[in-house]
Amino acid sequence: MFDIITAAAALSFVVSSIALWYSRTAARAAREQAATASNANLFAREARHAEAVLQFTGRYAELIDGGLRFGHQSWEYQFWALYALEYFFYERRWMPSFIFELWMIELASMYESGEVRASRVGYLGHYAERPEGMTSFFGRLLAIAESCGDDRATRSREIMQLVRTWPRAGENRD
């Protein structure tokens, strides 16, 4: 009887050990699969960001290829609509914020021209049904550009701070 109990105990120990080894292996494999899926999601997100940046950059290059044409209503609409779309992508985290910072610094430098400022204010006023966040953001950008004048370093710092602290999709704007 002792031999049967000992054999059963030994067999139970072996089976339990194999089950433990298998469950640890399965858990490790599950963690690795989860990490792989997470990395794939991050890669896909970065690829989407890169594609968005390339598309926006290409469209911007097309628009300014013949020079800035403020005073040409159709061109102005396309120009400001591109910036509105960039904001939309930035707000939804579909593009890296550091790229958006660079683009907003460039836009603020254009505001040195009264013609550009007037065009921008006109566009925002004409399309006032735009989301409040976008109108407020570009209003703040214009205010920074005007308050900093020729001090490009201060203007750039303030714009980077604006972009970094601006509430984005899912965040409270209060």
pLDDT in tens, the chain (174 residues): 568 878 777 778 888 888 888 888 888 888 888 877 777 777 777 777 788 888 889 999 999 998 999 999 999 999 999 999 999 999 888 888 899 999 999 999 998 888 988 898 888 777 656 567 888 898 899 999 999 988 999 999 999 999 999 987 666 544
Looking at residue 94, the DSSP 8-state letter turns out to be -
Structure confidence at residue 162 (pLDDT): 95
Burial class (CB in 10 A: 0-12, 13-18, 19+), 61: exposed
Q: How far apart are CA 168 and CA 81, in angstroms?
A: 19
pLDDT, residue 131, reads 67
| Extents of the domains making up the chain | 68-174
Under 8 Å between Cβ of 135 and 166: no
pLDDT (0 to 100) of residue 79 = 94
Say which residues have a Cβ less than 8 Å from residue 48's Cβ, sequence separation at least 6: 94
What is the model's pLDDT at position 145?
A: 92
What does the block give as tokens for 82?
């591109």
What is the pTM for the complete model shown? Answer: 0.73
Confidence at residue 14, expressed as pLDDT on a 0 to 100 scale: 82
Cα 174 from Cα 168, distance rounded (Å): 12
pLDDT at position 109 is 92
